[in-house]
Amino acid sequence: MKIVGVCACTVGIAHTYIAQEKLEKAAKNAGCEAKFETQGSIGKENALTAEEIDAADIVILAIDIKIADTERFKGKKTIQVSTDVAIKSPNKLIEKAIQVVEAAK
């Protein structure tokens, strides 16, 4: 399963990157491919390509603020949570993403 997403906290520093790291690790442990873009104080990093978004089974938005370019995810299954949820329960969040994708099959 392929997961893409965006992490962005209110300040755009610590929580953004911690959420990205925890989600990518949890996805890998669950046997999923994952890539998370960060949107923070220094702009977009690790930007998702249109191809990566198209190939994704689900999008996870771990965000505390309004992010740029949300229209890229139109038509994709999406889960939106706070960065706090992504940091404290990354494994549960990835499990939920897998369940959402499986239920839609």
pLDDT digits (tens, 9 = 90+) for 49-101: 999 999 999 999 999 999 989 999 999 999 999 999 999 999 999 999 999 99
pLDDT at 40: 85
Q: Please check the confidence at residue 12 and state whether its pLDDT lies above 80.
A: no
Considering 3, 9, 62, 87, which one is annotated as catalytic? 9
- Residue that wins the pLDDT comparison between 40 and 32: 32
Residue 60 · residue 5 · CB < 8 Å: yes
pLDDT at 4: 98
pLDDT at 13: 82
Q: Is 7 a catalytic residue?
A: no
Residues 32 and 82: their CA atoms lie apart, in Å, by 21
- Domains recognised in the chain with CATH numbers: 2-103 (3.40.50.2300)
Please report, as a single letter, which amino acid is at residue 41: S
Structure pTM? 0.96
pLDDT at 32: 98
pLDDT at 34: 98
The DSSP result for the chain, as a single string, is: -EEEEEEE-SSSSHHHHHHHHHHHHHHHHTT-EEEEEEEETTEEESPPPHHHHHH-SEEEEEESS--S-GGGGTTS-EEEE-HHHHHH-HHHHHHHHHHHHHHT-
